[in-house]
Amino acid sequence: MKEKSQIEKKAEEKQITLLSTALSEASNAGGHWLNASGKGYPRFYPKGVSVSAFNALFMTLHSDKNGCKTNQFTLFSDAKAQGASVRENEQGVPFLFYNWNKYVHRNNPEQVISRDDYMKLYEEEQKLYKGVHNREIRTLFNIDQTTLPYVDKERYETTLRRYGSAVERGYTEADNRRLHIQFNDFLLRMRDNLVPVRSDGSGVPHYETDKDAVYMPRQREFRHYHDYIQEALRQIVSATGHQQRLAREGMVMKNGVAPSEDAVRQERLVVELASGIKMLELGLPARLSEESLKTVEYWCRELKENPNLMDALESDVNNAIEVINKAERGEKIEYATMRNRRDTSTMQEQMPKHYFVSNEIRQHPDKETKKIVLVIDPQAKTADVILPAGASTEVDNEIPGMNKGRIMRALQKEGIEQVRFYNTDGALGYRPDDSYFAEKMITLARLKNWAMEKLSTLDVASAVKQANEIGFDHVEMIQDDKKRWALYIKPENKSGYSIYPDKEDINRFFSTLKQAMDNIGKVRMELAHKYYALAEVKPDLKVDLF
């Protein structure tokens, strides 16, 4: 891990202090730890630009601590541009700004381009690259820490009415009805795009990993509607940690054994932070659950002693919120396996095709002996009929003894519903690739009176298997000289090579290796097929690390 600068270390210390203080004081505030007054989501003043989840968390904690009336923030320079200034002795809050000025090819780390060059690429080409971020720490000040309320009092009061606390906004019963409609719509989107949310009579809200479903008691069983909302959010955040989604350690069984107690406690903290941020989006206060209140002392100690915890929280919280936000926008959150299968299938369609079977078939139709070839799909009840000539439907284009109408009727008597005619070559030549013949029967036949006489069958199983099922002698993650992870692939009867996988696939490989060893073989083969197909389509991505 890259050594942090002094500025980054001081920023993290301030974040830890803000979070630890809020968590510690929750027990004396009815469990409330974030946005107790119900302010709006943090934004930059006056442009209204929203901020990332993790930044929003600490901006709000800072606003709460200083008794600010809104979550509107500004840079020192922006306040000055508004004709105001930061008041004397005011302390700001660190803001994590990521400067995306370089982009690297997802499967070729040596290929780096500038942001300008990236923006010139077509959308499909842009998908091949990922941003390389450079973190900068900036300091923000709440507008209540500046002279803005005095410089432009009218605009300040307008901002309070729009983004201030529930009292400042004048929260009414109409707002409460809108909240019910808004959250019901949110739950529908979660059900459609992320995880099933079901009613449960046990009275205990929970997320079941094996069934991948959230179970919620009825609303009337909660003391307040806000408690129902946050509990539903907690369970939905838990669902984002599923092995096939973000694979957080505290959510995954390892060889049938539950995660460690430390992992479970860290997962609970992620759930409380992420659900609290979603409450913040709704302009609602966030409370710790009774179970979480018992864990506060442990969290505060870990925040102080574990140097990697804040970075892990930033990643886990932002990723969890992003998954939920995608589902809110209508994007279907598919399992990683389903995405990889679809990607593999798409790339396989672009792979060089093999035509051993069709080349063999074209040798058999014969005018003299009246032989034809039938390719029958029993499931679809279709038949391809390959003739030596005369496949077109034009009048007087029949070969004696090979009348297409009689052939069609003979096959229909055998249960075939659709018949297609082809020649061995030319415009109507028969040339599907080898994978097409999976589950199909290939027969050499000829017309005898009004029936089909089957002469012999062609066994093409080995060719079909070679087209559809690539075997691998070895699949493993290895590191190059620069400590970057690459996937080494050794296909059967071929030379081995390496390819640099997407970060998401690397993370999934190692999370599975760490948490669910019984699934690692399946993940290895899944990635092997995906990156073998990619390397066949784009051979320049292959590298020889040895």
pLDDT at 254 over 80: no
Quote the CA–CA distance of 76 and 73 in Å, as a whole number.
10
pLDDT for position 357:
87
95-116 pLDDT per residue, tens: 998 877 888 888 888 888 888 8
pLDDT band with cut points at 50, 70 and 90 for residue 497: confident
Mean pLDDT of the chain, nearest integer:
87
pLDDT for position 399:
80
Q: Where are the domains of the chain?
A: 39-164, 170-333, 356-465, 470-541
* Alpha-helical runs (H) found in 207-355: 225-240, 261-281, 290-293, 296-305, 309-328, 336-350
At 15 the three-state DSSP class reads: helix
pLDDT at 511 over 90: no
pLDDT band with cut points at 50, 70 and 90 for residue 44: very high
Residue 215 corresponds to which tokens in the numbers above? Answer: 């179970």
* Alpha-helical runs (H) found in 93-197: 115-120, 123-126, 148-151, 153-163, 166-169, 173-193
pLDDT for position 320:
94
Edge-first strand listing for the sheet containing 451-457: 418-423, 382-387, 372-377, 441-448, 451-457
Quote the CA–CA distance of 277 and 271 in Å, as a whole number.
10
Helix axes 296-305, 261-281, angle to 10 degrees: 100
The partner residues of 498 in beta bridges, in order of sequence, read 488, 543
pLDDT for position 350:
63
Kind and range of the H or E element at 134?
strand 129-142
Least confident of 7-16, 241-250, 260-269, 307-316: 241-250
For residues 135 and 342, the model is more confident at 135
Average pLDDT over residues 513-522: 69
pLDDT for position 197:
94
Q: Report CA 272 to chain centroid distance, whole Å.
A: 22
pLDDT band with cut points at 50, 70 and 90 for residue 349: low
Least confident of 305-309, 362-366, 535-539: 535-539
pLDDT band with cut points at 50, 70 and 90 for residue 515: low
Q: What is the largest CA-CA distance in the chain?
A: 105
pLDDT at 256 over 60: no
For residues 539 and 326, the model is more confident at 326
pLDDT band with cut points at 50, 70 and 90 for residue 540: confident
pLDDT at 69 over 80: yes
Least confident of 150-159, 250-259, 290-299: 250-259
Average pLDDT over residues 53-59: 96
pLDDT band with cut points at 50, 70 and 90 for residue 216: very high
Average pLDDT over residues 360-381: 90
pLDDT at 123 over 60: yes
pLDDT at 62 over 60: yes
pLDDT band with cut points at 50, 70 and 90 for residue 257: low
Give me the DSSP letters along 351-397: SPP--HHHHHHTTS-BTTTTBEEEEEETTTTEEEEEESS--S--TT-
pLDDT band with cut points at 50, 70 and 90 for residue 191: very high
Separation in Å, CA 372 to CA 14, 280, 378, 380, 398: 81, 72, 18, 21, 13
For residues 63 and 481, the model is more confident at 63
Backbone φ and ψ for 305, nearest 5 degrees, come out as -100, -25
pLDDT band with cut points at 50, 70 and 90 for residue 286: very high
Least confident of 35-49, 66-80, 184-198, 486-500: 486-500
pLDDT band with cut points at 50, 70 and 90 for residue 160: very high
In percent, the amount of the chain with pLDDT more than 70 equals 92
Least confident of 249-258, 377-386, 524-533: 249-258
Quote the CA–CA distance of 421 and 404 in Å, as a whole number.
8
pLDDT for position 491:
86
Quote the CA–CA distance of 84 and 151 in Å, as a whole number.
6
